[in-house]
Structure 1
């Protein structure tokens, strides 16, 4: 059997945007992913379906697997001919034991590659507004494993050299041994009032920073209840934080927003303003079980006066099938197009077509009004490609008014097969501050995926609904809707979330 390959991949310090493109590609093609605790678990959402996930643990000295066991898994899976991704927080060759794993793989004749990650030693201080080097403060820096302060009888750390140096010192894994670190630096000549910063969960929305001195930092950590993971920075560069603190000053810093659709498209503005967006799809848009209804409608498309699209998904699936049937956009000559919302209209525009009508209101009632009222439907023939489950208000009114309308199923919104175990944990631990629901189905499926606990888990979470239909479903479940835009679009929803979050009573920090 051909041996597989092992990729030792650094996932970065926490912000999912800091994962490298090459690291992402390795993750997406992996048959097996062996991952540690100290990484953003959202990265795992990029793993291809069917890949095997193996949790190696490595959390604050507690390991679900020993290093020898991890080595054994990497070897055995590669010998099975599988592509293995060894996913580590930060960089695999910076206190990540990646070198040891690479040695084992070399000894077994297994091909491997190293994909460097952005180390927390560099990224975390940067997100706290602390440059490690600065021409006025420090021209060098050193990264030191803080666990060596007390765990090794004969530490390889030259404390005297550290204390004498004028460069910046970065300690990783030092929280539990901070008293030893403080004592050793002072004993070896470091000024007790040297500035120190401690940054917990750096680069993430949970980031928390405290500033003190070498002498007082042990008590500051204790009183502030700072626990691992944290990065400790020692040196005069810490004084620059007052000027350069950029991340924690973002207006939505601390907000952790749940998106229940398939992707976060449209929510990017929230991330730019400092929020962390967590995607947990509760619907998946797929083709219809049968194309028969749509095929029949497309075969007589020239007989329609209006083509109405209610969503971007409807546009995509309609034209996908339209072209599969060897039709041409010129076959739509003379047919007027109506699109519900600017996003839907933009999707139509991708096919070189102009939208004739965009209703002011995005509910069925608004669509009726946009056409000029019920009387305007008399004699009209309308094609409305839509989802498998959709409201009947508009089609019913068209027929009542003497019009003709075909509503072929063009796509389905189904519930994904993923389980809600991880999301339950996020909600219990307070890692979600706001939940967004862009349709009644996203909320209904969310409740089904989380089970009986769904309601209680959302009690202390701000809830945003895209429109009144979605809001009614949420309120019927006994929950309060805090945010609802006047216009039922994602863009309007995002604007309303920003407005709400900037109110003094809603600020996280």
Structure 2
């Protein structure tokens, strides 16, 4: 029987930067309490070469975005240099529906999204038939090398944002886990796992609360540090992670 209040009494901690109200509203709808306590933050990387990179960017066959953070940083650059999406003839590839939606909001049309929202699946499925194509990967400073090295076309990188640790949330996370009866901590990136491992886990360990992860890369990062992963959705988005958590708590 479907239990519409399956998260009743549950406190759900989101450790990623808040980009949408949807997953938080869903927690509330299912009877839980949501808390945004990001362990990372992103900042646009500003460089003296940005103007030159724009001149080069419009000549690529494909632009590749793997995160909403990359889109947000690129949008800031567009605004600062008074550039528009209409100037780009490039096709657009995006990892994830949310990333695609962010791109479409600023005027781009997305031509390719992989079935699974992960870089390793992207490189398996993204195979343009045309020869001698060039792509520009707009990325963060912690992005892996898969997209840069494993695609059949020539790929150049442009680091448009940086991911930085956000330790101001640490004390509150520790307090909630220690004092709240039923807590779930949700991870959306290996970066957040790294900060939690360094600053939170030494105090509270990896037991006594539910752990959720988006994607097999984040799941692997958790397991590599000895943490259990109790819930992971088939579709790698925060709303789907909340729904999967609800199912595990009795929504079935």
Give the TM-score, by structure 2 length. 0.89
Q: Are 1:500 and 2:248 an aligned pair?
A: yes
Show the counterpart of 1:156: none
Q: Deviations over 1:290-337 (max 9, x none)?
A: 4245443212122100011111111111021023112232211x2111
Give the number of the structure whose alpha-carbon radius of gyration is greater: 1
Pairwise CA distance, 1:272: 1.4
Show the counterpart of 1:470: 218
**1:382 maps to which of 121, 135, 156:** 135
**1:280 maps to which of 30, 37, 41:** 37
Instruction: Say which SS state the counterpart of residue 385 (structure 1) adopts.
Output: strand
Pairwise CA distance, 1:453: 1.9
**1:482 maps to which of 208, 212, 230:** 230
Show the counterpart of 1:342: 97
Q: Are 1:445 and 2:198 an aligned pair?
A: no
Q: Please say if residues 287 and 411 of structure 1, whose CA atoms lie closer than 8 Å, have aligned partners that are also in contact.
A: yes
**Within 5 A, what are the aligned runs for 1:240-319?**
250-263=5-18, 265-267=21-23, 268-288=25-45, 290-292=46-48, 294-319=50-75
**Within 5 A, what are the aligned runs for 1:419-458?**
420-450=170-200, 452-454=202-204, 456=205, 458=206
C-alpha distance in structure 1 between counterparts of 2:188 and 2:77, whole Å:
26
C-alpha distance in structure 2 between counterparts of 1:387 and 1:483, whole Å:
27
Q: Deviations over 1:5-62 (max 9, x none)?
A: xxxxxxxxxxxxxxxxxxxxxxxxxxxxxxxxxxxxxxxxxxxxxxxxxxxxxxxxxx
C-alpha distance in structure 1 between counterparts of 2:251 and 2:102, whole Å:
34
Instruction: Say which SS state the counterpart of residue 110 (structure 2) adopts.
Output: coil
Q: Which has the higher contact order (CA 8 A, sep 6+)?
A: 2
Instruction: Say which SS state the counterpart of residue 407 (structure 1) adopts.
Output: strand
**Within 5 A, what are the aligned runs for 1:26-65?**
none
Segments of structure 1 that go 5 or more residues without pairing to the other structure are: 1-248, 505-509
Instruction: Say which SS state the counterpart of residue 303 (structure 1) adopts.
Output: coil
**1:370 maps to which of 119, 125, 141:** 125
Segments of structure 2 that go 5 or more residues without pairing to the other structure are: none
| RMSD value, Cα | 2.3
- Evaluate the alpha carbon distance shift between residue 293 and residue 362 of structure 1 in structure 2; reply closer, same or farther with a 3 A threshold: farther
Q: Are 1:327 and 2:77 an aligned pair?
A: no
Instruction: Say which SS state the counterpart of residue 150 (structure 2) adopts.
Output: helix
**Within 5 A, what are the aligned runs for 1:202-213?**
none
Instruction: Say which SS state the counterpart of residue 410 (structure 1) adopts.
Output: strand
Show the counterpart of 1:360: 115
Pairwise CA distance, 1:487: 2.2
Q: Deviations over 1:162-212 (max 9, x none)?
A: xxxxxxxxxxxxxxxxxxxxxxxxxxxxxxxxxxxxxxxxxxxxxxxxxxx
Instruction: Say which SS state the counterpart of residue 185 (structure 2) adopts.
Output: strand
Q: Please say if residues 338 and 356 of structure 1, whose CA atoms lie closer than 8 Å, have aligned partners that are also in contact.
A: yes
C-alpha distance in structure 1 between counterparts of 2:73 and 2:171, whole Å:
32
- Evaluate the alpha carbon distance shift between residue 486 and residue 420 of structure 1 in structure 2; reply closer, same or farther with a 3 A threshold: same
C-alpha distance in structure 2 between counterparts of 1:329 and 1:378, whole Å:
25
- Evaluate the alpha carbon distance shift between residue 495 and residue 307 of structure 1 in structure 2; reply closer, same or farther with a 3 A threshold: same
Show the counterpart of 1:392: 145
Aligned length: 248
- Evaluate the alpha carbon distance shift between residue 381 and residue 485 of structure 1 in structure 2; reply closer, same or farther with a 3 A threshold: same
C-alpha distance in structure 2 between counterparts of 1:487 and 1:337, whole Å:
21
Instruction: Say which SS state the counterpart of residue 348 (structure 1) adopts.
Output: helix
Q: Please say if residues 462 and 482 of structure 1, whose CA atoms lie closer than 8 Å, have aligned partners that are also in contact.
A: yes
- Evaluate the alpha carbon distance shift between residue 422 and residue 361 of structure 1 in structure 2; reply closer, same or farther with a 3 A threshold: closer
Pairwise CA distance, 1:432: 4.8
- Evaluate the alpha carbon distance shift between residue 432 and residue 447 of structure 1 in structure 2; reply closer, same or farther with a 3 A threshold: farther
Show the counterpart of 1:408: 158
Instruction: Say which SS state the counterpart of residue 221 (structure 2) adopts.
Output: helix
- Evaluate the alpha carbon distance shift between residue 293 and residue 341 of structure 1 in structure 2; reply closer, same or farther with a 3 A threshold: farther
